[in-house]
Amino acid sequence: MASVLIPLAPGFEDMEATTLVDILRRAGIEVVTAGLTPGLVEGSRGMRVQPDANLDDVLGRDFDMIVLPGGMPGSEHLQNDARVQSLLKRHAAAGRYTAAICAAPMALAAAGLLDNRRITGYPGMVDRLTIPGAHYSGAPVEIDGRVVTSRGPGTALDFALSLVELLAGRARREEVEAALVRA
């Protein structure tokens, strides 16, 4: 079974985080939410979440993917947290997936993971970053090698389903998507 780490920083985007956790778990993917701080973590819209673990407790574990929900100031916390930056670099160096939505690609950029890539993110936030060789497409979801980015709350479902497809295959994505009754 594939495994995913979702770090939760104070001020995370509520809809993005809950959509990611829900869809990935529906697909049978192991999801571990980890708080940057002990105890409940409050999202940007006031939702309070009890993470599965404290980030310090999972630092030595390897995951197939690290996914960063956006939101402010959550994305800034992810960008400025040395533990998160170290995890991102280590996972990328090992050829594992890193993914971020909304403003959170700024944390991937800080780790040097967006250089020379096709990226997307929250309009007016990520596209203003200076990232060497990056091409900001504005697409709902961009997959460039082992780096996945997405625009914002409105693209969270498409982003999550894209991650399911990468980790569990097209057939599993279609099963999960069919059960959602999107069309």
Q: Provide the annotated active-site residues.
A: 102
What is the rounded distance in angstroms from the CA atom of residue 130 to the CA atom of residue 106? Answer: 10
Only one residue has tokens 């533990």, namely: 83
Beta-strand runs (E) in the chain? 3-8, 30-35, 41-42, 48-49, 53-54, 65-68, 97-101, 118-119, 135-136, 141-144, 147-150
Q: Are 122 and 103 within 8 A, CB to CB?
A: yes
Q: Are 4 and 66 within 8 A, CB to CB?
A: yes
Burial class (CB in 10 A: 0-12, 13-18, 19+), 47: middle
